[in-house]
Amino acid sequence: MRVLTIIFLAFMAGACSQNKTRIKVLFVGNSYTYYENLPQIVSIISDSSHTKLVTKKSVAGGAFLSDHWHRRHGLDTRTKIAEGNYDVVVLQEQSLAAIRRPDSLKKYVRLFSDLIRESGAQTYLYETWARKSAPEQQTVISGVYTSIGQEVGANVVPVGRTWAKIQQQYPQWDLYDTDGSHPSRWGTFVTACVFAHTLLGELPEHMEDEYVVLDHEGEQVRLLYIPPEQIQIAKSIIVTGQ
């Protein structure tokens, strides 16, 4: 079994990363962003590319973009963006907002996009997926993100559309966790691949099937294992859009 072990602060890893272009990415959102270590998986995938995605996050469970803007739940997202330390800021709105609160979604995307532009970064919108029980809502969700993305000049990361294609073609591999809302590990891997493809313009030719990190005691912790067959299916659908 091929294993990709990421040892933070290791000398050789640091030396190799210095030879790569680095894109600093801030993920702003809630559990759809931090579930199963999504930003970290995106960064690990980029280790096999010519560009390293250095990811950070500003998140709180159940948070709306309005919560980030108004500094609720101890969030200091606006300050982090304004400091200008990022090349890309990813905005993830609450998963039902595109259905129930589209005007609020658009309002806070506009506000954050202005702030992000002033900081010198680019805005990317995390298009989320429909709930498992309501797949027909994906068209509406995608439409809302496409519309506001065009208005503010933001790039849309088409996660929801990709999920819909994979779930329809390969229902035996469930993208959803047991709650029918959050991602399974397979769902997180697919989401991370969509982000990597959108941010890098490609997916690495060689992708590992197991992702492991070391904890503070030096013990291995497995983040994900994805069978090679599923990796190839995800890559094919994401790259071809079919």
229 within some domain = no
As a whole number of Å, the end-to-end CA separation of the chain is 29
Q: Residue 137 domain-assigned?
A: yes
- Boundaries of domain holding 163: 21-204
Q: Where are the alpha helices (DSSP H) in the chain?
A: 11-17, 31-34, 38-46, 65-69, 77-82, 97-100, 102-119, 138-152, 159-169, 185-200, 228-240
User: How high is the pLDDT of residue 50?
Assistant: 93
Q: 33-44, pLDDT tens digit by residue? A: 999 999 999 999
Adjacent-strand bridge partners of 125: 91, 156
Could you tell me which residue, 55 or 9, shows the higher pLDDT?
Answer: 55
- Counted domains in the chain: 1
Look at residue 6 and tell me if it is in a domain.
Answer: no
Residue 215 is assigned to a structural domain of this protein: no
Overall average pLDDT of the 62-77 stretch: 98
CATH code: domain of residue 67? 3.40.50.1110
Structure confidence at residue 2 (pLDDT): 44
- What does the pLDDT average to over 157-176? 97
- The pTM assigned to this predicted structure is 0.91
Residues 236 and 173: their CA atoms lie apart, in Å, by: 16
| Residue 136 domain flag | yes
Residue 113 belongs to some domain of the structure? yes
pLDDT at 124: 99
> Which pLDDT score is estimated for 216?
78
- The verdict on residue 138 lying in a domain is yes
Question: Using CA atoms in the order 58, 59, 64, 67, what is the torsion angle rounded to 10 degrees?
Answer: -60
Does residue 90 surpass a pLDDT of 60? yes
Residue 234 lies in a domain: no
Q: pLDDT per residue over 181-221, tens digit each?
A: 999 999 999 999 999 999 999 999 989 888 877 777 788 88
